[in-house]
């Protein structure tokens, strides 16, 4: 009886965790179309982290890790407005235009390389595979931003 209860509890825990991961970290079904990759350095790079009103620990981790990476490795770019970092609640009506622009609907990270006034929006889904691994998380975000600042994707 005790073994059956342990198995049932374990299965329920696994199902619950899978539901949380799917609800909080699932990528958007379709990223807005953008033009071809820029061949010159970006004029501006926007890093936008979206979240929902009800947040899980993974959502908080992703925001904190992204913020840490941006503020630690790109302070000069932030100060010069070459890099813009924004956090937006997808459920807040004040963010409707930004949510629509990026096609966000749940927790997600986007990097927009703007060259000659043209958006080159890319969703960074790899962050969800490295949650909890600080070094790997920073490397994913840092690498994507560095690539975008150079104007390559």
| pLDDT at res. 136 | 98
**CA distance linking residue 59 with residue 104, whole number of Å:** 14
**CA distance linking residue 107 with residue 28, whole number of Å:** 9
Q: Does the pLDDT value for residue 114 go beyond 60?
A: yes
Q: Does the pLDDT value for residue 13 go beyond 70?
A: no
**pLDDT per position as a tens digit, 38-84:** 457 889 999 999 999 999 999 999 999 999 999 999 999 999 999 99
Structural domains present in the chain: 2-150 (3.40.30.10)
pLDDT, averaged across the chain: 83
Tell how strand 118-123 and strand 44-51 pair up: unpaired
Q: Does the pLDDT value for residue 29 go beyond 90?
A: no
Mean pLDDT computed over 2-20: 47
Query: Residue 1: pLDDT band by 50, 70, 90 thresholds?
Result: low
Q: Residue 137 class from Cβ within 10 Å (0-12 exposed, 13-18 middle, 19+ buried)?
A: buried
Q: Does the pLDDT value for residue 122 go beyond 90?
A: yes
Global confidence as pTM: 0.75
**CA distance linking residue 146 with residue 127, whole number of Å:** 16
Stated length of the chain? 153
The kind and range of the H/E element at 44 are strand 44-51
**CA distance linking residue 107 with residue 23, whole number of Å:** 8
**CA distance linking residue 72 with residue 93, whole number of Å:** 31
């Amino acid at each position: 009886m005790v073994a059956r209860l342990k198995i049932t509890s374990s299965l329920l825990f696994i199902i619950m965790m899978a539901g949380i991961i799917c609800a909080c970290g699932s990528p958007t079904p379709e990223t807005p179309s953008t033009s071809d990759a820029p061949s010159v350095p970006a004029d501006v790079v926007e890093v936008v982290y979206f979240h929902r009103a009800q947040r899980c620990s993974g959502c908080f981790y992703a925001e904190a890790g992204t913020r840490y990476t941006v503020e630690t490795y790109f302070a000069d770019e932030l100060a010069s407005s070459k890099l813009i970092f924004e956090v937006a609640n997808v459920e807040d009506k004040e963010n409707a235009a930004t949510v629509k622009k990026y096609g966000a609907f749940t927790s997600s990270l986007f990097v927009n390389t703007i060259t000659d006034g043209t958006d080159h929006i890319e969703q960074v889904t790899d962050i969800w595979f490295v949650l909890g691994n600080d070094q790997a998380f920073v490397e994913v975000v840092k690498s994507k931003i560095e690539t975008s600042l150079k104007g390559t994707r």
